[in-house]
Amino acid sequence: MSRINPLLVLLLLALLLVVSLVVSLGVGSYARGFADLPALLFGSADSLERAVMLELRLPRALSAMVVGAQLSLAGVMMQALLRNPLADPYVLGVSGGASVAALITLILGFSGFWVAAAAFAGAMINVVLVFGLVSRAGDWSPGRLLLTGVVIASGWGAVVSFLLAVSEGQALKSMLFWLMGDFSHVPAPGWHLLVLLVGLLFAWAVARPLNLVVRGALQAQALGVDPRPLRLGLFLVTSLLTASAVTQAGSVGFLGLVVPHMLRLLIGSDHRWLVPGAALGGATLLLAADTLARTVIAPQQLPVGVITAFLGVPLFLWLLNRNEAQR
């Protein structure tokens, strides 16, 4: 397994993130171009262009970065928690709970803040439900946790289908956009940024123990890591990250599953590199995807989840084949 120096990959990703941010701020149907960017961002002139930049484009770009980082980070930790490479942040039903609550508020005609608040409440209800069921059984093994979460997630899925089936018109379209992930109405990240920082700090602090936990609870315990508190911490922090991400942008798919694997293929499985790498990679990919989502068929907007899949699938397949060839 010949690999690139992980530090170099992180630096490149950071550079790519900055480039994506500049591009994202410079393109759009209004206030185009890069020459005026510094003046618009840091100047003091009052203009419509400046308002577009500071009140619409910048907050949206920041949110996309935060959500991308949150979902990728949650993906890395969820895969370690469940010891399953197919796990994603939504597998335990967090997004299901959020979706049901958000769709109900949309049907009732609310929008913006209320949908987000309901989504967060729904996600938390799911966390309490899964946590309660698993702790009552007293079995925190990946199998038990996964089965409990998957069954509850399917339950939420059924409710979502029901809600979609009985809705129509404009409500249905905004529901579909919400389900696929959408940044068109997001405010600046605010406290979600704090959630990301907490998650990042936690993940990095437990990064070396994570390397052991993926080898199984017994092996981790034999090598000096108590898996029980670690698993509980992983479950709670992952849920919080996912709930926060879903609250901001709906359930953006694909990212949380694929970004961790992309980074594994690039820099290996050591979580001390994987954690910051996934955060940077996820932020970059989602920012790029959102920039495309609002420009490709402008003035129409696409749900960003569609773009993440369009971008992610070929990128991931290319990385996978590149590694196969190197074996």
Partner 1 sequence: MTRMAIEGLTLRLGSRQFCDKLCLDFEPGQIWGVLGPNGSGKTTLLHTLAGLHSPQDGRVWLAERELAQWPVRERAQQLGILLQSDDSSFPAPVRECAMLGRHPHLEPWQWESAEDWARVDEALERVGLSHIAGRDQRLLSGGERQRLKLATLMVQAPGIWLLDEPTNHLDLHHQVQLLEDLTGEVRRQNQLLLMSLHDLNLAARLCDHLVLLYGDGRVEAGPLAELFESDRLSRLYGHPIRALHDGGQCWMVPG
Interaction site with partner 1 (CB under 8 A): 1-2, 79, 83-85, 205, 208-209, 211-212, 214-216, 218-219, 221-226, 264-265, 268-270, 272, 327
The residue among 271 and 294 lying less far from partner 1, judged by its C-beta, is: 271
Dump the DSSP string for 79-124. HHHHT-TT--TTTTSHHHHHHHHHHHHHHTT--THHHHHHHHHHHH
Cβ proximity to partner 1, 84 vs 295, nearer residue: 84
The residue among 151 and 223 lying less far from partner 1, judged by its C-beta, is 223
From CA 270, how far away is CA 289, in angstroms rounded? 27
Residues 6 or more apart whose Cβ sits within 8 Å of residue 281: 13, 72, 259, 262, 263
Residue type, 206: V
Residue 270 Ramachandran class (φ > 0 left, ψ -120 to 50 alpha, else beta): beta
- Min CB(261)–partner 1 separation in Å: 9
In whole angstroms, what is the distance from residue 216 CA to residue 143 CA?
Answer: 12
Are the CB atoms for 80 and 206 separated by under 8 Å?
no
Measured from the CB of residue 62, what is the shortest distance to partner 1 in angstroms? 30
CB 240 → partner 1: shortest distance, Å? 23
Nearer to partner 1, 36 or 270 (CB): 270
Q: Shortest Cβ distance from residue 264 to partner 1 (Å)?
A: 6
- Which residue do the tokens 């100047």 mark? 43
Nearer to partner 1, 187 or 268 (CB): 268
CB of 310 to partner 1, least distance (A): 26
Q: Which lies closer to partner 1 via its Cβ, residue 221 or residue 295?
A: 221
Shortest reach from residue 147's CB to partner 1, in Å: 18
Q: Provide, rounded to whole angstroms, the least separation between the CB of residue 10 and partner 1.
A: 15
Question: What residues have CB less than 8 Å from 39, skipping those under 6 apart?
Answer: 45
Instruction: State which residue, 6 or 97, has the beta carbon closest to partner 1.
Output: 6
Dihedral angle sign, alpha carbons of residues 298, 303, 307, 310: negative
Query: 176 with 224: CB under 8 angstroms?
Result: no
Written as six digits, the tokens of 180 are 């696929």
CB-CB contact of 49 with 33 (8 Å): no
